[in-house]
Amino acid sequence: MKILKYIGQLQTFKINQFYWFSKNKTQDDAWLYTDFHYFYVDEDEDINDIYTQQYKLKDTISSWSGWLEHSDNFDCMSNFNYFVDIKSTAYEIPITWSVSTKELWKDMNANQFKEWFHTN
């Protein structure tokens, strides 16, 4: 059975914290949700396969757009060179909100939207 899924990237990384007048640095673990999109797919299909058919998992943190949520220790004003060991994986957030047809039309793959529209 096909269902609507909200899939994007979970990026985990370390933030280098430098101190004034010292060469010492520490690394804090941080995370970021980004690039989420709606998909109308089989409920048992692998989310990594679903996402990577249309989008590429990024190993860089870029721009401020598309961030859904991030850890408290992540400062969006930081220099992006301070982020190391960036790992991206596909991640699904269960849909617990009402999604408008207009929102799906703008975000979904055209064939998936057409199939979703005619079956719901």
| Range of the structural domain that residue 101 is part of | 2-119
**Which pLDDT tens digit goes with each residue over 34-85?**
999 999 999 999 999 999 999 999 888 866 667 888 888 776 666 666 788 8
Concatenated DSSP letters for 30-65? EEEEEEEEEEEEETTS-HHHHHHHHSPPPSS---ST
Average pLDDT, the chain: 86
Contact (CB, 8 A) for 93 and 6: yes
**Total number of domains constituting the chain:** 1
Euclidean distance between CA atoms 53 and 37, whole angstroms:
12
In the chain, what percentage of residues exceed pLDDT 90? 55
Contact (CB, 8 A) for 47 and 9: no
Backbone angles phi, psi at 75, to 5 degrees: -110, 115
- Higher per-residue pLDDT: 109 or 18: 109
Q: Is the dihedral of CA 70, 73, 78, 81 positive or negative?
A: negative
Question: Which structure tokens are listed for 105?
Answer: 């039309």
What is the b/e burial string over 94-108, where b = at least 16 CB atoms within 10 angstroms of the residue's CB? eeeeeeeeeebeeeb
Determine the number of helices (DSSP H) and then strands (DSSP E) in the chain.
3, 4
- Higher per-residue pLDDT: 62 or 114: 114
